[in-house]
Each structure stands twice: as C-alpha cells, then as structure tokens.
Amino acid sequence: MDVNAGIQAIIILAAVGGVLSAWMGWRRIVRGRKLAYFRLRQQQVTRGWRMIWLGLIMAGLSFVFGQYGRPAAYRFFPVTGTASISPTASMTGTITLTPTISLTPENTNTPSVTDTPTITPTPFMPVSVEALFTSVVTPNPASVFSPLQFALAFDENYQPVNPATVFQNPIQRMYGLFSYADMLPGVQWTALWYREGQLVHFETNPWDGSTGGYGYTEWAPSPDQWLAGTYEVQIFVGLDWKVVGRFILEGDPPTLTPTRTLVPSITPSPTRTPSLTPTPSITPSPTLSPTPSRTPSPTHTRRPTPTNSP
C-alpha cells in the first residue's frame, strides 16, 4: 500500500467510525432517558454524549486528513520513482535524425520462405495415384507409424544423421525416416511429397518389409529442382492416412550451367565435276571363217621286193 492509499483508508475509516459513534451515542441517550433511576439515567446520557463527541472528533479528523494528510505525508515520505527492469546493455542514440522526405520503395522484398507453413487441412489420396495401386491385401487399421524425421543421410540402423526441420540449399537427396508396427506384407503403402501444397513427388508400392521395424521414404531429384519453401510428406497405408511430417528448405537452388561440347566440323572440299564419258562406238561383228576341208590321209606305198641278180 502506498501513501495515497493509506491516507484514503484513514479518511474512510474515520468517517465511518464517526458516524457509527454518533449514532450509538444518540441511542444511549434515548435509552438512558427511559430509565427510572436517576444515577443510571445520568450515566447513560453522559456516555451517549461522549460517544457523540467522539464521532464529531473522528469526522473532523476525516476532514483534516482529507485536506492536509497527503502534503504532510509527502514531507516525511518523499515520492520516488519505481525502477523499471531494463536490459543490461542498451544502445541509445543521443541524436535522432528525422528525414524530412520519406521515400516509399517501389519494390518490396518478399521472403521466399514464410514462417507459417502451409498445412493441408485433411490429407487425402489423389485419384491419379490411387489408380496405380496393385495390391489386393486389406490394410490393417491397427498399423501405426512414428513421427517423420528428416535428414540428408542415415546410418546402418536406419537412424537419421543430424535430423532437422530446416535445411539450406544446395541438397541432393532428402530422407523421411520412421518406425512402424503391425504392418501386413503386400499391403499398398504410399508416400506423397508436397511443396507449398503442390504434389511434386510420390511413391506407391506393395509393402515388402516386415511387420515392424524401421523404414524411410526418399526423394532425389536434380539439385536445381529443390526449390525453397515448406515441404510436407504424407504416409498412407491403402487409403488410410497414417502420419504427416514437414520441413523447410531455405536458399536458392543451384543453377545448372550447360557445358559446351566441341564437335569437330568437317569443311567440305570442292569436288571436281566428272568429265563426260564418250559414248562407245559400235564394234563390227567378226566375219565367219570358212570351215576347213578334210585332208585325205596319205595312202600306203608298198615297198619293192628285192630281186637276186645273177
């Protein structure tokens, strides 16, 4: 309670006490006058008047405190300011320059990533993805998935390495890791990747894992496709939504610079125009040679018989 509140309390108490004392004194005087004995009657009347005077004194004190109580109290209790909590080191400029003309910028820089992520109200399975289902196994409604943890790598136990919710470009691959239980082999499961509410990647396959353990979903596009924004990953078993996770990617993706490939070009050399080939002349056919006649074979000449001369 401060000084002002204390003075007000004294004024109110004095005023109320004075009124009560005067009223009780008046009641004593009235009752005392009805007594039969003189001494008792005098005592009651005397006490009544004392209480009336006490009430008047208290009313006077209430008036005096109301008029002079605060100045007198402030002489003995000077007013001091209440210290306010301020930072230990505050940089306060001595002179503040106010420009006479304020220039309104034409272009306002809008941050590429907002602090409030876009939240899909109710996750649902797109019809185009549902049309790719191949499993006929009925999902187990009791299957559960843990919250997703995002990381750029994981160890041999499928535990994320340096998991986070905010990442910086450039990146090449993102993993969404989770634990699961009560899964049925062969049931259709789907992972949907959204960026700012737009579907950018999905994978849907029959479940080839065990009934419980650890798993992950991944996306590895080219580095220039990792645009800044808020990403959301939704896990479905059949058409039942199980878990959703979000992470923020900041910074501009790298720009792929095309490399120039030198292809040797062949300069065509001038080709001589072929000369005209003369038309061949007609060669006369050879004449038939006469058939040789048969030569008669020579006749045998008989040798002369020798004769003995005498």
- Beta-carbon neighbour count of residue 221 at 10 Å? 14
Instruction: Give the pLDDT score at 309.
Output: 45
Q: For residue 57, give the H/E element and its range.
A: helix 38-64
Query: What per-residue confidence (pLDDT) applies to 280?
Result: 52
Query: Is 127-250 CATH 2.60.40.2550?
Result: yes
- Residue 147's pLDDT is 95
- Which pLDDT tens digit goes with each residue over 156-196? 999 999 999 999 999 999 999 999 999 999 999 999 999 99
pLDDT at 47: 87
At 270 the pLDDT is 55
Is pLDDT above 90 for 17? no
Compute the average pLDDT of residues 202-217. Answer: 93
Q: Which residues pair with 144 in a beta bridge?
A: 181
| pLDDT recorded at residue 150 | 97
**pLDDT confidence tier of residue 298, bands split at 50, 70 and 90:** very low
How high is the pLDDT of residue 109? 54
Kindly tell me the sign of the dihedral angle through the C-alpha atoms of 178, 180, 186, 187. Answer: negative
Percentage of the chain surpassing pLDDT 90?
40
Amino acid (1-letter code) at residue 137? V
Is residue 174 within 8 Å of 221, Cβ to Cβ? no
Mean pLDDT of the 198-205 span: 95
What does the domain layout of the chain look like in residue ranges? Answer: 3-76, 127-250
Average pLDDT over all residues of the chain: 77
Selection from 103-117, 214-228, 256-270 with the highest mean pLDDT? 214-228
Distance CA 220, CA 222 (A): 7
Neighbours of 58 (CB within 10 A): 20
pLDDT at 277 over 70: no
Task: Find residue 215's DSSP bridge partners.
Answer: 178
Predicted local distance difference test score (pLDDT) of residue 310? 31
Structure tokens at 30: 């009235």
The position carrying tokens 């650890």 is 214
Q: What is the mean pLDDT of residues 96-118?
A: 53
Phi, psi of 71 (to 5 degrees): -60, -40
